[in-house]
Amino acid sequence: MENYRTRYEEWLQSDLLDDASKDELRAIADDEDELKMRFGSTMEFGTGGLRSKMCAGTNRMNFFTVAQATEGVARLIESLGEDAKKRGVMLGCDSRNNSAAFARRCAEVLTAHEIRCYLFDELRPTPMLSAGVRHFGCIAGINITASHNPSEYNGYKLYWEDGAQPTGDVASKVADFIRDSDVFADVPTPDMAKEEFITMVGSDFDEFFISKVMDEQVYPDAVKRDADELKIVYTPLCGAGYRIVPEVLRRIGVKHLHTVPSQITPNGDFPGLEKPNPEYPAAFKEGIRIAEEIESDLIIANDPDCDRVGVMARNAKGEFECITGNQMGSLLLDYIFSALEEQGKMPDDGYAVKTIVTSEMATKICEAHHVDLYNVLTGFKFIAEVIAEHEKRGEGTFLLGYEESYGYMKGQYARDKDGVVASMLIAEMAAYYELKGMTLIDAIESLYKKYGFYTENAAEIYMEGLDGAEKIAGLMEKLRANEPAVIAGSPVVNIRDYRAETSKNVLTGEVTGTGLPKSNVLYWACENGCVVVARPSGTEPKIKFYILANGADEAEAHANAHACTNSLEDMLGMPHDSLKK
């Protein structure tokens, strides 16, 4: 932190820094807190890459930090030899401001090292980047995106040769190479790029990707049979799904597809959207207006990089209701299994994967259909790891992977959450149930009747500012030091500390391993089946809390969720109803 002024002056004096950035920096010369925020540290290169606000500074997303990160990737690839350089890097971006220019800057750095680049000719959904790495046999991939963050953010996601984000070792090596380089002196300038090492990727690959997505239909005739009745409102929230998702929906037979005019065109300012996030009902405001006009029962929304999907469906009262990520995951699981069984196509060795913070209804559904279920840490890189292990052993048929934060994956062509295939499956599932006289809300209620009622609360505490990371670490230590014996009136029977890699059976005192990689996550399971999890976010300055509750009926489940939240607030020393729910 003490070097922040030195770093600031180095940037201000650099001949490489443009005049606009220098003016921006001069304007904050007397703002010590802002200088510390921008120059007191560098962005941490984790397994998911980088994410920050866009402005000048070592701890911010800009052309220099993007180029320095890419220099780290280039040096790692060079260390692997000429074959790795020839295999190359897949480059993509979303609709955010500067995304396309950042992706081009990545290509300049890589080609200066004579590393082959496959560069999309315009923005594409994130799963297409993952699929491209696999299709072209690349050693790596880089996607410029900040997912569903507000417009002032951008990010840098690294993928490795299997099409998944790397788990640990690769990211650590890249981080080391970044630290060993100077942001100005050691990074190739744009004039050092070698265009002959760039291959542009366009419509031919679109056709390949669309065909792979359509291969994942479960009931290919469902939409066509319901085509006259099925009406869908679609919005990409000004993002990368604007072209590919509507094309896929039309090709599977959707006749009545209505897009949201104010959100169908890519726009990094995300006009009218405070948060371009399909997890929030506010993002559906314009979609609901159109759905009411055309009498549609279904609204599908992707986030700006189109790796997530959110849905609103009409309930029995005629009102639009959000389907949560947990609910949609359970719906898709049950639909895929049931549809395959009805057609005599259910494999004997099928398996699914979810994260530890995802509803346990999945366990009940998989048990009922005799499907193996694997639980992993939060992040699709861990889901991809399970798939890769099965592939290596030549075992198992992958049926679905998902997490509660609105991400779903089906198929083997990509190894990341895929808002394109998920949108297609949701449309297909809606048609399947409509043919039975049911809405998706009806389908959820039928699952509750069969498996019991499951619900959740998602709470979070933001800790921004210079000491934010320190406060987050301190709060996690406080929770570790004060293990709860009871949550919401139910005894805690299992405590897992994924950082210590321990799982303690409270009843017997037996301590075993978690069986999962080390991670700063605390997990408390209660006798009544409710679960509370604490996990610092990997991309934002906050701690996330997951309350997974169940009950014999809706009232009991919601009461348990509320009581668990109150207990969590007691553990944190906070007044009841103070956590965001």
Residues 6 or more apart whose CB falls under 8 angstroms from that of 59 comprise 37, 38, 39, 40, 41, 42, 43, 52
Q: Which two structure tokens, joined as six digits, stand for 64?
A: 């220099």
Q: Which residues pair with 542 in a beta bridge?
A: 462
Which of 339, 240, 327, 322 is CA-nearest to residue 278? 322
Q: Is 147 an annotated catalytic residue?
A: yes
How many C-beta atoms lie closer than 10 Å to residue 449's C-beta?
A: 9
Which of 11, 65, 94 is CA-nearest to residue 181? 65
| Dihedral Cα 469, 470, 474, 480, nearest 10 deg | 50
Q: Which two structure tokens, joined as six digits, stand for 437?
A: 């006289």
Q: How many helices (H) and strands (E) does the chain have?
A: 19, 23
Q: How far apart are CA 34 and CA 39, in angstroms?
A: 8
Which of 343, 395, 541, 381 is CA-nearest to residue 460? 541
- Residue holding tokens 């790795």? 84
Helix runs in 412-553, H state only: 419-434, 440-451, 468-481
DSSP, collapsed to helix, strand or coil, labels residue 516 as coil
Q: How far apart are CA 316 and CA 420, in angstroms?
A: 28
Per DSSP, 191 falls in state: G
| 7, 37, 525, 574, 579 from 546: Cα distances, Å | 39, 29, 12, 17, 12
Residues 6 or more apart whose CB falls under 8 angstroms from that of 515 comprise none
Q: Which of 147, 151, 405, 519 is catalytic?
A: 147
Q: What is the DSSP string of 272-298?
A: T-SS--TTSGGGGHHHHHHHHHHT-SE
- Side chain identity, residue 274: E
Q: Which two structure tokens, joined as six digits, stand for 279?
A: 């997890």
Q: Which two structure tokens, joined as six digits, stand for 153?
A: 């953010």
Q: Treating both helix axes as pointing N-terminal to C-terminal, what angle do 19-26 and 4-13 enclose, rounded to 10 degrees?
A: 140
Which of 56, 160, 143, 64 is CA-nearest to residue 99? 143
Pairing verdict, β 117-120 and 231-235: unpaired
Q: Which two structure tokens, joined as six digits, stand for 299?
A: 């609204």
Asked whether 341 and 328 are in contact (CB, 8 A), the reply is no
Per DSSP, 230 falls in state: -
| 292, 389, 474, 488 from 463: Cα distances, Å | 39, 37, 11, 26
Q: What residues are labeled active site?
A: 147
